[in-house]
Chain A
Amino acid sequence: MPATKPAPELSVLREPLREIGGEQVLAGLTSALSWLEANQQEINDLNVFPVPDGDTGSNMYLTLRSAVEEARDAPTPEAADSVLAAAAHGSLMGARGNSGVILSQILRGFAQGAAQRVHLDANGVALAITEASAVAYRAVMKPTEGTILTVVRDAAAAAAAAAGTTDDIRVVLDRVVTEAHAAVERTTEQLQVLRDANVVDAGGFGLAVILEGFARSVGDTQPTAPAPALLRRSGEPTLHLPPNPGDMEATGSAVARRGAAAIAPREQGWGYCTEFLINGPGLDVESIRTELSALGESALVVGDPDLVRVHIHTGDAAGVIAAASSRGRMSKLKVEDMSAQHHDVLMRADAEEAEAEAVGTAAQERPQAPPKPIGVASVAPGEGFRDIMSSLGADSIVSGGQTMNPSIEDLLNGVRAANAERVILLPNNGNVILTAEQVDPLAEGCEVRVVPTRNLPQGISALLAFDPAANLEENVERMQTAVAAVRAVEVTHAVRDSSVNGHDIKLGDVIAVVDDVITEVGDEYVGVIDAVLKAQTEKPELVTVYRGHEVSEEDAESLVEALRGSNPGVEFELQAGGQEHYPYVLSLE
């Protein structure tokens, strides 16, 4: 691999920057977001497996976007710690996918490292990055080298070293960016899967992009003109300059809006998504929360005696506003008609699903009922899986899955919609588990346990094992046992040429992923699925075939007929799963 060229010095011909406050931090974050947006697709494309995958770039972008939005509303805009604390909270609520969760932890650590500091000097910046690295490592149970974690750690080391030699924050950040990109390049050698696919780590690259965007504008109090041209680094994708740095309004709403479909449609309409701030001093957060929560659903009331941020879904926006205005001066009021919004999203997602407004879910049948002792919230893509899970007793369904990871806030809303004192959360996707694990501390008054289901068949097995009469521990145990007894086969098409596990894979090939491992490759479904079934050491008794959104019932039926013919003694059941990207998902039991 060619030697890494040094990154262009950002600090040339500029006055030394010895101190940054809240405005400069916000400018840096805003710029980081623009950079991330411009490079989102490249990050998405750094896909280890040739399967449609969790979109790391989109996940990180949406997470940072949520951070920046909240940072803009920071209670003390001129204070670095205030802006960073707001960013950290925003990123936590908006975190999607594993990379989004880790990014939110990096921001949390950064904010912790900057706590009690209105201004940061070079040492302060280095300290904050070091804390960011430490917090991110702690958040991951088994830290792996060659990921975003390695990049943040190496960047922190560079920051600490640089801060020992200069008090110019730009110089420190130059070194951080240079080292981050170098660390990204090294990831290919650190992880076998990356080496096989000959790519750098997507999350690590995303972080380097964020750091670069931050570094380029952190000294500014206003978003600046386009950054200077960049050198292309050897292993990374070409970096794209943001079209218009700092212009938040131009950032892609299309991707962001997908999150709006996260909770299944409600029969009586969605009411109004109402957001505002209440300005103190002397606010009683707890009593505001109690009062407002009674007026709607999914109430999010956070803050301190000086500023409270409210986000609530209500049918009575006027009532909420009246109640809030008696507590303090309101600002940033935003009221949106969620039925219209949600309908729009559904229309965009799938014109045929526009009728979905009328489809019921378990959750909507008892919106105001007293909480049950124990409930289940489950993540599902597609109408079919959603209906099946509701029918099996899931109290609420959060839309999402492989390529549309729900945010922590989406999951939190799903947990609230389950309306229970204790909620079991089923992520049903490997890339949603970490996000799901962040929900419990945020769900006040509700104990949340995650049964780490990695795919939809596991989620269905877990739901089948649920016993409303048993307690939380018993249920978690039952579900875990049930999950271990099912094998999931996900069938899709290769999204690019590659070589994985000794399989030569061409774009468009049919691939079967068995419990997260690419096991069979071929040119048509029946052959590939048949090979998977034949390879099982223990012959399955029952195979449930969930057909995807793009597969017609007739095609699925003839596939199942063919499989029946070649697998005598195995029972087959066909269901409409409605999932995207995966024509067939099978569960082997």
Chain B
Amino acid sequence: MSELIHLVTDSTADISPSDADALGVHVVPLIVRFGEQQFRDGVDIDADQFYTKLEHSDVHPTTSQPSPDAFATLYRTLLANPEDEVVGLHISAKLSGTLQSATLAAQEFDPARIHLVDTESVSGGLQLLVRAALDDIRAGDTAAVVAEKASRRRSKVTILVLLDTLTYLHRGGRIGRAQAFVGGLLNVKPLIAVRDGEVVPLARLRSRSKGIDMIVDQVRGCAPLRSLAEFHAAAAESMVDLEARLGAAFSNVTAVLGRIGPVVGAYSGPGGLGVACLGAD
């Protein structure tokens, strides 16, 4: 049996368990906490349960990176065959310490066989990079090349999120330069982007449909596209509009549809609508 390349990511890629199984991707869960209660993202709590809890909970959820041990355990299993290698694509190191835990585990285990990439991305953006890397593995690239291609591709990822409110991002301390948008007395829908791994403000819009207009414009600016991902946080109805608009504009691009999971949802808050696109190589 020839050597295998195992693709590892984390739960902020918002890949559903069934997709992960079908794709053959290993997902390490981050942790979401409501006070004393602690859940593994996507394992102990799914998106539906999370948003229901978010709505009813008095405490604001917090999140934490997986322990190095969680990575070490997985690497040990995956790399039982000494020929095998791991490519780990993870959430932006500016947003989470996940990559830090993975790096510690890799150093303990066997750094030469574990190729870690800071994707400077999250959610749908991270997922598109994971899916592109799977294509590379299938095409026969070596682990080092897969990791290198992923690093090069991250500049081609655009992530846009139309939020209902900045409250969650603000409370969670991940607001970055979108700080400038905080505190408005008017009801505005902030459109943010994740750029170079950080949250940056794009626009303040007075309605969701104006936000969707702007998203479509921004995505147009990224063409030609390799792939597209559309995600929502308990905003299925708005997602229908978004799908229709993007579907009409990019009928020849396959779109991954999904939900913003618990950990990312703790920052986007309910009502968030996200789009990620990956430009062609």
Contacts and interface: CB of A to CB of B under 8 A. Distances in A.
Interface of A: 387-388, 391-393, 460-461, 464-465, 467-469, 541-542, 544, 571, 573, 575, 589
A50 to B, nearest CB: 31
B189 to A, nearest CB: 10
A465 B184 CA distance: 13
A391 B206 contact: no
A471 to B, nearest CB: 15
Given A388-B184, A467-B201, A571-B207, 4 more contacts: A391-B186, A393-B180, A464-B203, A464-B204
B211 to A, nearest CB: 11
Contact of B184 (A392, A468, A589): A392
Contacts of B210: 541, 589
B6 to A, nearest CB: 40
A468 B182 CA distance: 13
A27 to B, nearest CB: 52
Contacts of A461: 206
A288 B260 CA distance: 61
Nearest to B186: A388
B22 interface: no
A589 B185 contact: no
A368 B45 CA distance: 50
A300 to B, nearest CB: 31
Contacts of A393: 180
A541 B203 contact: no
Interface string B209-246: 11000000000000000000000000000000000000
Contacts of A468: 180
Interface residues of B, number: 18
Interface in B159-211: 177, 180, 183-188, 200-207, 209-210
A574 to B, nearest CB: 10
Given A464-B204, A589-B206, A575 B177 contact: no
Contacts, number: 45
Contacts of B187: 573
Interface of B: 177, 180, 183-188, 200-207, 209-210
Interface of A is mostly: mixed
A571 B208 CA distance: 11
B185 A387 contact: yes
B186 A573 contact: yes
Interface of B is mostly: mixed
Contacts of A544: 186, 206
Contacts of B207: 541-542, 571, 589
A337 to B, nearest CB: 32
Nearest to B183: A391
Contacts of A387: 185
Nearest to A540: B207
In this complex, the member of A387, A464, A544 whose beta carbon has the largest number of chain B beta carbons within 10 angstroms is: A464
A247 to B, nearest CB: 47
9 contacts: A392-B186, A464-B203, A464-B204, A467-B202, A468-B180, A469-B177, A544-B206, A573-B187, A589-B206
Nearest to A362: B183
Nearest to B180: A468
A587 to B, nearest CB: 8
Contacts of A391: 183-186
Contacts of B188: 464
A406 B187 CA distance: 29
A575 B203 contact: no
B208 to A, nearest CB: 9
A571 B186 CA distance: 13
A468 to B, nearest CB: 5
Contacts of A571: 207
A433 B86 CA distance: 64
Nearest to B208: A541
- List of 6 A-B pairs having minimum Cβ-Cβ separation, nearest first: A391-B185, A464-B204, A541-B207, A542-B207, A388-B185, A391-B184
In this complex, the member of B185, B201, B203, B206 whose beta carbon has the largest number of chain A beta carbons within 10 angstroms is: B206
B84 to A, nearest CB: 45
Given A393-B180, A469-B177, A464 B185 contact: no
A135 to B, nearest CB: 42
Contacts of B202: 467
Contacts of B186: 388, 391-392, 460, 464, 544, 573, 575
A391 B186 CA distance: 8
A164 B36 CA distance: 97
